Amino acid sequence: MTGREKIMYQILGKICEANAPLVFKGALITKLILAEYGYTALERQTRDIDANWIGVPPPMSELENTVNRSLKTMDGEFRAKAFREYGDKKSAGLYIIENATDEKIVTMDIDIRPICGSKTYHYGEVGIRGVLANEILADKITVLSGIRLFRRAKDLVDVYALTYCVEVLTIKIFEVIKSKQLDLGGFDELLTRRNDVEHAYNKLQGVENKPPFDDIYLYLKEFVYPFVQKDETPRIWSSGNREWNDVSSTNFPNKPK
């Protein structure tokens, strides 16, 4: 974990401690989920904070002030400065600035939209409110289903890692996709442009112990099958066998590695 990431977790903890109406998501929460399951096979770095504002959409001044009130408990080390207003399909953008140097140390992107649930994760003794694993997976699966895959090759790694840890039920993922009105594409790029996907994957930086591309690609081809088919038959994923099983079965070798 980088020094910047440690600071980001401290910031998230202070915001949650202040009961600000924010729930966090993205790589920082993904990392906490993987840690919760003891998954240490790989490590992906991140440089920004992603969150959702919960409740009535606020003026930008209120959003900025809410974050700044939370940061005051960090001995005045940091402040937030808005640089982008939110809008239709556009998140609010804030810089977190170190007061001693005036350096912009991290960007915070805040969506103004509902979530499908949350829970408290832990970074040491710090409690952090984050979205549920199903919501993270649903978002990343829809990314893999279209051309955004080439801009977010990191999601190949995240889906691979998460599905080794958490229980994945097709019915739950489809529920989130419908609830959030996510765009589930046909996975054409993933399935027919293998060389281009490999090129994007090989360019991906900041991932320790990145699996060989062939391993991750063959795994994900099996995993996305029901989403390619738009088949909502209730099934559960077995990471060990790399296959979907009917939920009526009682033997699922889906254990974290």
What residue segments make up the domains of the chain, in order of their start?
A: 3-131, 133-246
Q: Using DSSP, state whether 71 is helix, strand or coil.
A: helix
What value does the mean pLDDT take over residues 121-139?
A: 95
The more confident residue out of 93 and 45 is 93
Q: Does the structure show a pLDDT above 70 at 234?
A: yes
Tell me the pLDDT tens digit for each residue of 47-98.
899 999 999 999 999 999 999 999 998 888 999 999 999 998 899 999 999 9
What number does CATH give the domain 3-131? 3.30.460
Indicate left, alpha or beta for 101 from its phi (over 0: left) and psi (-120 to 50: alpha): alpha
E strands, 112-188, are: 118-123, 126-131
CA angle 84, 59, 7 (to 5 degrees): 55
The one-letter amino acid code at 176 reads V
What value does the mean pLDDT take over residues 221-243?
A: 96
Give pLDDT, residue 249. Answer: 52
Q: What is the total residue count of the chain?
A: 257
Q: Indicate the pLDDT class of residue 252, thresholds 50, 70 and 90.
A: very low
Tell me the pLDDT tens digit for each residue of 146-162.
999 999 999 999 999 99
Cα pseudo-dihedral 4, 5, 8, 12, rounded to 10: -170
Give pLDDT, residue 257. Answer: 37
The CA–CA distances, whole Å, from 219 to 170, 177, 242 equal: 16, 22, 6
Q: Using DSSP, state whether 120 is helix, strand or coil.
A: strand
Residue 230 gets which letter from DSSP?
A: T
What value does the mean pLDDT take over residues 174-184?
A: 96
Q: Indicate the pLDDT class of residue 250, thresholds 50, 70 and 90.
A: very low
E strands, the chain, are: 22-25, 43-44, 48-53, 78-84, 92-98, 103-111, 118-123, 126-131, 207-208, 235-238, 243-246
CA–CA gap between residue 204 and residue 87 (Å, rounded): 30
- What is the average pLDDT value for the chain, to the nearest integer? 92
Longest dimension (CA), the chain: 59
The more confident residue out of 251 and 192 is 192
CA angle 8, 73, 32 (to 5 degrees): 30
Give pLDDT, residue 254. Answer: 44
Which stretch of DSSP H or E encloses residue 172?
helix 170-179
Question: Is the dihedral angle over the CA atoms 47, 53, 57, 60 positive or is it negative?
Answer: negative
